[in-house]
Each structure stands twice: as C-alpha cells, then as structure tokens.
C-alpha cells in the first residue's frame, strides 16, 4: 500500500492506495486504486509522533499497520514544518524516507514557468494527475485555500496558470470586515436574487465564484488555442462545479492520484 499525503495550508488529505493495481483501470479515475482517504486540519506544530498516531489509527480501520503493509510514502506540502515532521515520521515508523515532491524529483512533466521552483507541489501533482487521466491539453481548477488554475499542453507541458483567493478565505475576510454579516452554511440558494441576507451571501458565493471560474478558464482555454478538457478538484468543487459552464469533470482526489503517479515514476 502507498500513503499519499497532500499538506495544504488549511487541510491535510491522506490517501491510501493499493499500488498492486497500478496501471489498471486508469479510465475509472483515482477511485479505482484509492482504498480510503482522510482529511485532517493542518497544524504546523503537530509532532511526528502525533502524526504517526493519527495515521496508525486511520490504517487500523482496514486492519493495516506500519509493519509491512505500507511500502511507500509520497508527500506534497506547502507547510515546511509539516514536511519536516512527515519526513521524521516516515523514517522512524516506516523505516525509510518519504518521497517529497520538490525540485529534483522526476515528474515526467516539463515545467515551463520562468522559475520552475516557484510552482507549488500540489499544483504539479494536479497537473501530472490530470494529464495522466485525460491527456492534453487540459486545465485543472483546484478549490483549495487559494483557487488555482493550471494549464497543461497537448504535449504534457506545464504551461503555468492563475491563482486567486479561495472561497473560504474570501468569506473570512468578508465576515471579519462586515460586522452586520454572519457566517452561513455553503449550500445552493433557491434564487440568484436572494430574499434574505443569508440567501444573498449564498448566492454571491455560488454564482459569483462559478462565474469567476468560467471567466478565468475561458480566457485560459482561449490562450491555449485548441479544444481543452477542464477538470476540477478540491474540497468545494462539488458545490461550485454544477453552476459552471466550462468544467467537464470533477476528480476529488486528483492531487493524491498525481502523487501516486509521481511515486511510480521515481521507484
């Protein structure tokens, strides 16, 4: 089994892959090989021992343990403190260093950024996973702490993308600055024209961010200049995507799948 760990600024997602099925049923998407997945809050001061305890409990749901069941660990991380703790955890409890997606790791994808080292590991994992699943050209929209857009060419080159403030941090700013507004449940409103403050906020989020995605993706596809597949991932993708016009596929575990592909290319 393979542990794929994606550390974001807000959440950390852990996936358990059955790599004995590698290469099979790629058309079925990441779920074909994903045995289970878990989401936890990212806490920078969590120790390697605490991380080990949490992951051991997750593995225990399937009757697995550190001893012999997990043959690899692959990590993408935007939080250096957590990266260091995961390295220590893997070396102490699994007996080997994890594969951390960072400069020098073989991805099989040319990075056509002015400075390739600036591209976040999660963005590269998304691009690798999307090209593996859908070919190119392909555009990935990731609804995370930031909403990111990645463009991948027909030849499998990472062309670049765009970054905008994510939905949740945008709402944090709104509620923090507007004393008369309170937090709302993020669900689809009955109407675009809200009949209450709650519904007005919901409408603004759902229709505003879906419109933002369509506008941005439309410009990216136009710049690519040919028919392009558009795929979304991230925690809020299933909420926003039904209201978009250009997103064709939702792959909730695309980042984890991309990490699995990178792990295979570095074995």
* Candidates 45, 122, 142, 214; catalytic one: 122
What does the alpha-carbon distance between residue 168 and residue 165 come to, in Å, rounded to a whole number? 8
Number of Cβ within a 10 Å radius of residue 172: 13
122 is catalytic: yes
The residue assigned the tokens 């030849």 is 155
Report whether the peptide linkage leading into residue 78 is cis, meaning its omega lies within 30 degrees of zero: no
Number of Cβ within a 10 Å radius of residue 57: 10
Number of Cβ within a 10 Å radius of residue 245: 12
Number of Cβ within a 10 Å radius of residue 142: 28
Q: How far is CA 66 from the centre of its chain?
A: 25
What does the alpha-carbon distance between residue 124 and residue 215 come to, in Å, rounded to a whole number? 23
* CA-to-CA separations, 52 to 49, 86, 129, 172, 199, in angstroms, rounded: 5, 9, 27, 31, 42
The residue assigned the tokens 């990266």 is 83
Q: Is 156 left (phi over 0), alpha (psi -120 to 50) or beta?
A: left
Active site residues: 122
């Amino acid at each position: 089994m393979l542990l794929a760990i994606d550390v974001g600024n807000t959440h950390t997602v852990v996936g358990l892959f059955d790599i004995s099925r590698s290469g099979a049923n790629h058309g079925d998407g990441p779920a074909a090989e994903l045995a289970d997945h878990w989401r936890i809050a990212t806490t920078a001061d969590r120790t390697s021992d605490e991380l080990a305890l949490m992951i051991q409990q997750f593995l225990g749901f399937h009757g697995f343990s550190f001893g012999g069941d997990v043959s690899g660990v692959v990590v993408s991380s935007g939080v250096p403190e957590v990266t260091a703790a995961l390295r220590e955890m893997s070396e102490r409890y699994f007996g080997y260093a994890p594969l951390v997606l960072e400069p020098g790791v073989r991805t099989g994808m040319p990075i056509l950024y002015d400075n390739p080292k600036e591209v976040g590991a999660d963005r590269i994992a998304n691009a690798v996973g999307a090209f593996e699943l859908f070919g190119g050209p392909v555009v990935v929209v990731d609804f995370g702490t930031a909403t990111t857009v990645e463009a991948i060419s027909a030849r499998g080159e990472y062309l670049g993308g765009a970054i905008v403030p994510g939905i949740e941090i945008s709402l944090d700013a709104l509620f923090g600055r507007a004393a008369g507004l309170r937090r709302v449940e993020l669900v689809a409103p009955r109407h675009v024209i809200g009949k209450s403050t709650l519904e007005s906020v919901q409408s603004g989020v759902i229709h505003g961010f879906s419109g933002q995605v369509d506008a941005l993706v439309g410009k990216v596809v136009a710049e690519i200049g040919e028919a392009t597949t558009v795929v979304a991932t991230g925690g809020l993708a299933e909420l926003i995507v039904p209201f978009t016009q250009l997103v064709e596929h939702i792959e909730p575990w695309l980042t984890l799948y991309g990490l699995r592909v990178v792990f295979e290319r570095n074995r």
